[in-house]
Chain A
Amino acid sequence: MSVLSTLAEYLSHSSVRNALIVATLIALCASLLGTTIVLKRLSFIGDGLSHVAFGALCIATVLSISEKMFLVLPVTVLVAIILMGGNDNKRIKGDAAIAMLSVGALALGYLLLNIFPNAKTGNVSGDVCSTLFGSTSILTLSDADVIMCIVLSISVVLFFVVFYNRIFSVTFDENFASATGIRCNLYRLLISVIIAVVIVLSMQLVGSLLISALIVFPVLSAERIFRSFFSVVLSSGVIGIFCAFTGIIASILFSTPTGATVVCVNVLVFAICVVVGKIIRKG
């Protein structure tokens, strides 16, 4: 009873409601895009990009830019376009380069933060920790942040719906798609821009180290159970929303770190899906 009343108490705050809305929308975008990222074996790109976003964020902090997004977003989009360039056959060789880039960006960001600590907070490890693992900043979103998040998320979902058939083709067999006149380069470009946007968005929720979890877990869970692309996409969206929602509620109730809790719920759901999948296939 006390748990429920605490929850009701929290939900009466608009900041908590905003956090819930933003988190579920971000999780939905991440899990939808996750389907093409994971199925194209590009998970490492999500990881690399989030580290690049971290590096850019550090630079923005050092330069005391007030609207950090104006630096972080373009940098991440640019790197995404470079990493996703080249078709399936060529891209695979680049994974070592991506690993270098992502670790490099991480190191550079941390180094810069240490050399030029933020005058306002003066707390290096606190800054780093919150950018890496997410912070309570999700509870202190301004109305403008919330509206931006909602608009961007809805655009991503709309893009995914409208281009669903093209995304399937490009994900399933890029060579066939280009051979039969589908403009794979264009769609690959669009997808990389959107991945970058989603990563920058979700950095606020779970921090840059845990973003990949939002992207890969829902798809991997869905894949255990479902066998068609459509049902995997659909269920991965549902799983993403469910995990973000319950994760945030749990983190509020038990005062645990938001990002880590959301990711742990994802891990839990994945474990359940593995078991369910095994049972279905046996039966």
Chain B
Amino acid sequence: MAQIKGTDVSVGYEKRIVAGGINFEINEGDYLYIVGENGSGKSTFMKCVLGLEKPVSGSIVYGDGLKQKEIGYLPQQSYIQRDFPATVSEIVISGCLNKLGFRPFFGKKEKERAKEAMEKLEITDLAKRSYPELSGGQQQRVLLARALCATGKVLLLDEPVAGLDPYAQEQLYTLIYRINKEEKITIIMVSHDLEAAKKYATHILHIGGEKCVFCTKHEFIKENGGCLF
């Protein structure tokens, strides 16, 4: 059984279908790239996979013993208020919440996990800073660190490199690739960076219109004669 499997999924809002005919199967350790134009429904699709929105039709099921608590998520936009009083370390460790079970407070293990995530994203020196006072790219890294903390088996990233400088982008790709390979964590990523897709993906899902295409990277490249579109 696949980790996440979708059959005839169509996504949209209030019965208005944005993208339809999505069939996909994601297994442990896969690296799925979701591509498509602006407004084609990529973020909406992600939210359906996460259960934040319901698909208009079709079904998405978790298999392979995957639980909601084992999923990490980086939203494209968070509805976080501009002046919310919270420090970087408070936000990063809040990602470990789904590891607590019935315990009320974070223990050594969670603190260590949060520290590691901050080191990976090079924000350790920002730990005590207030989140709203950070730059856009710094905020993105904080939310990425939080997503890493929450991840157990699957990590969903909605345009993770948006707002990062080229050096940080490259680093992030390497980091995610390493997590994917070493920890066998399934990656589902929305991105407009086709070069990176060619380099890292195992599968590609093209979202847009009535019929969305899901295939392995090799099929995709073969069909399109070596270029993605």
- CB contacts (< 8 Å) of A176 on chain B: these are 73, 75, 78, 146, 150
Residue from the list B85, B87, B91, B97 in contact with A180, Cβ < 8 A: B97
Interchain CA distance A173-B97 in the complex, whole Å: 13
Q: Could you say which of B69, B86, B95, B130 has the most chain A C-beta atoms within 10 Å of its C-beta?
A: B86
Contact residues in B for A41 (Cβ distance below 8 Å): 81
Residue A229 at the chain B interface, CB threshold 8 Å = yes
Cα–Cα distance between A89 and B53 once the two chains are bound (Å): 11
Interface residue? A14 (CB, 8 A): no
Residues of B within 8 A of A88 (CB): 79
Q: Please, what's the 1-or-0 string for A146-179, where 1 marks a CB less than 8 Å from any CB in chain B?
A: 0000000000000001111110110011011111
Contact of A168 among B72, B94, B133 (CB under 8 A): B94
**Interface residues as binary, A66-87 with B (CB distance below 8 Å gives 1, 0 otherwise):** 0000000000000000000000
Kindly provide the distance from the CB of A93 to the nearest chain B CB, expressed in whole angstroms: 13
Name the contact of A229 in the complex, choosing from B81, B90, B98 (C-beta under 8 A). B90
A230: B residues at CB distance < 8 A: 90
- With contacts defined as CB atoms under 8 Å apart, how many contacts are there between chain A and chain B in the complex? 90
A100→B73 CA distance, assembly (Å): 38
CB distance from B86 to the nearest CB of A (A): 5
- CB-nearest residue of chain B to A161: B104
Assembled-state Cα–Cα distance A180/B104 (Å): 17
Stretch at the interface among A44-52, A198-206, A209-217, A220-228: A220-228
B residues 182-214 touching A (CB-CB < 8 Å):
none
Q: CA separation between A230 and B172, bound complex, in Å?
A: 30
B70 touches A181 (CB 8 A): yes
Majority secondary structure, A binding face: helix
**A223-B94 in contact given A162-B104, A178-B52 (Cβ < 8 Å):** no
Are A180 and B105 within 8 A (Cβ)? no
8 Å CB contact of B68 from A162, A163, A168, A181: A181
Please tell me if A16 contacts chain B, counting CB pairs below 8 Å: no
Give the CA-CA distance A39 to B81 in the complex, in Å. Answer: 8
Query: Among the interface residues B51, B90, B100, B106, which one has the most CB atoms of the partner chain A within 10 A?
Result: B90
Which among A161, A162, A173, A179 is the interface contact of B51 at CB below 8 angstroms? A179
Q: Are B71 and A173 in contact (CB under 8 A)?
A: no
Q: Is B84 an interface residue (CB 8 A)?
A: yes
Is B1 part of the contact surface with A, judged by Cβ < 8 Å? Answer: no
Q: Is the CB of A178 within 8 A of B83?
A: no
A226 CA to B97 CA in the complex, in Å?
Answer: 24
Max chain B CB contacts within 10 Å: which of A165, A177, A226? Answer: A165
Count A-side interface residues using an 8 Å CB cutoff: 30
CA distance A175 to B71 in the complex (A): 13
Q: A232-254, CB under 8 A of B: which get 1 and which 0?
A: 10000000000000000000000
Q: Is the CB of A227 within 8 A of B87?
A: yes
Assess the A228–B90 pair: CB atoms within 8 A: yes
Known: A163-B104, A180-B69, A180-B73. A175 touches B94 (CB 8 A): no
Structural contact, B98 and A173, CB atoms closer than 8 A: no
| A182-B87 CB under 8 A given contacts A88-B79, A89-B79, A228-B130 | no
Shortest distance in angstroms between A240's beta carbon and chain B's nearest beta carbon?
A: 16
CA distance A165 to B105 in the complex (A): 7
Q: Is B50 an interface residue (CB 8 A)?
A: yes
A-B contact pairs, 20 of them (CB 8 A): A39-B81, A89-B79, A162-B104, A165-B94, A172-B86, A172-B91, A172-B94, A175-B78, A176-B150, A179-B71, A180-B97, A180-B98, A181-B67, A181-B71, A181-B98, A229-B85, A229-B86, A229-B90, A231-B85, A232-B85
**Other A-B pairs beyond A165-B104, A168-B86, A178-B52, 6, CB < 8 Å:** A39-B81, A88-B79, A180-B150, A182-B97, A226-B85, A227-B133
The list of the 6 closest CB pairs from A to B, nearest first, reads A181-B69, A181-B68, A227-B130, A180-B150, A179-B50, A179-B73
Query: Could you list which residues of chain A lie within 8 angstroms of chain B, going by C-beta atoms?
Result: 39, 41, 88-89, 161-166, 168-169, 172-173, 175-182, 223, 226-232
User: B residues within 8 Å of A by Cβ?
Assistant: 50-52, 67-73, 75, 78-81, 83-87, 90-91, 94-95, 97-98, 100, 104-106, 130, 133, 146, 150, 156
